[in-house]
Amino acid sequence: MTKPFAVRKSVTSYRVIYGDTDQMGVVYYANYLRWFERGRSEFLRQIGLPYGKIEEQGFHFPVTEVSCRYAQSARYDELIKIETELATVGRATLLFNYRIARESDDTLLATGSTKHACIDHAGRIARLPKALESALNSQRSGAT
């Protein structure tokens, strides 16, 4: 059973590089998934628990589901913002929502979500690590 999780949004800026685009100068669709990962990594860093520290404890969070809805194209050299929020937390799952927008005018480029299972070093489903629960609970009590 999952429960809603109201925590501050993490916002990360990123400038589109030439390698992100296709021959038409438009960002290749799969790069939005990389940007979701970037947002998620920054979210964890901002709550004081970078993903590397979670891995050091023997846990991983593989993606089990992903969705992305494209609204407009991002282009080379645009500055975008990646808004990431943790939508729900289960005993062994996390669900993140994303909003990607052009930073200059807040034009929506894409929205999406990723669902993650928590697994241990052997690849078995595991309860969320205590360190992550503590970091999330401290954010929850500090959220406005």
> How many helices (H) does the chain have, and how many strands (E)?
3, 8
The CATH number assigned to the domain holding 103 equals 3.10.129.10
Bridge partner residues of 84 (DSSP): 10, 98
SS3 129: coil
Residue range(s) defining the domain that contains residue 88: 3-142
Average pLDDT, the chain: 91
Q: Supply the pLDDT for residue 3.
A: 55
Bridge partner residues of 108 (DSSP): 101
- In 10 A of CB 127, how many CB atoms? 12
Instruction: Please tell me the total count of domains within the chain.
Output: 1
Give the residue-averaged pLDDT of 51-78. Answer: 96
Residues serving a catalytic function are 22
Q: Supply the pLDDT for residue 133.
A: 87
